Amino acid sequence: MKRWEAWSFHILTLIVTVSGIVYFWMKYLLKTDDPFSVINHPGQPAMLKTHILAAPLFILAAGIMINSHIVKKLQNKSAQPIACQASSRSSPSRLWSHPGTCCRPSQLPP
Ligand code: HEM
C-alpha cells in the first residue's frame, strides 16, 4: 500500500465521520430561535455538502485500500507480517500469524 493511499483513506474517514456527526448535531440537537428557518445553523448546508461530497471519495479510497492492502496480502501466501519477522526464536510472536504463512521455525530470524 502506498503512502498516499493510506493518507487519503485516513483523511477521508475523518472528514466523513466528523461532517456526519456535526451535521447530526446541527440538524437534530440544535434549536433555532427563528420559527421560519428550515436550518438550525448557518453552517448546516455546507456540512451536508461536505459529507455527501466526501462520502463517495471515501468509498473509492476504501476500495483502493482493500485492493492494495488486504487482497494483495491474501493472494500472497508467503507474505510475513513485520511482527513475525522481528520476533526472536525464544519468544516468537504468534499474534499476527496466519496458519501456514508465518512463524514457522524455519522462517524465524537466526
Ligand atoms: C461515521 C460515519 C457517518 C456518520 C456519523 C454519518 C452521519 C450522517 C447523518 C447524520 C446524515 C443525515 C441524515 C438525515 O438527514 O437525517 C447523513 C446523511 C448521509 N450520509 Fe452519512 N454518515 C456517516 C458515514 C457515511 C458514509 C460512509 C456515507 C457513504 C458512503 C454516507 C453518505 C451519506 C449520504 C448520501 C447521506 C444523505 C444526505 C441527504 O440526502 O440528506 N455517510 N449521514
Place of cell 471515501: 58
Summarize pLDDT for 47-102 with one digit per residue, the tens: 999 999 999 999 999 999 999 888 888 887 665 555 555 544 444 444 444 554 55
Going from N- to C-terminal start, the domains of the chain cover 3-76, 79-110
Atom in ligand 1 nearest the alpha carbon of residue 24: 10
Atom in ligand 1 nearest the alpha carbon of residue 55: 29
Cα angle, residue 75 at apex, residues 12 and 66 outer, rounded to 5°: 10
In whole angstroms, give the CA distance from residue 108 to residue 87. 7
Give the residue, out of 9, 48, 49, 52, with the most ligand 1 atoms within 8 A of its beta carbon, to mutate for a pocket test: 52
Q: What is the mean pLDDT of residues 12-22?
A: 98
Summarize pLDDT for 36-50 with one digit per residue, the tens: 999 999 999 999 999
Report how far ligand 1's centroid is from the alpha carbon of 48 (Å): 8
Q: Above 50 in pLDDT, residue 6?
A: yes
8-state DSSP, 38 = S
- State residue 95's pLDDT score: 45
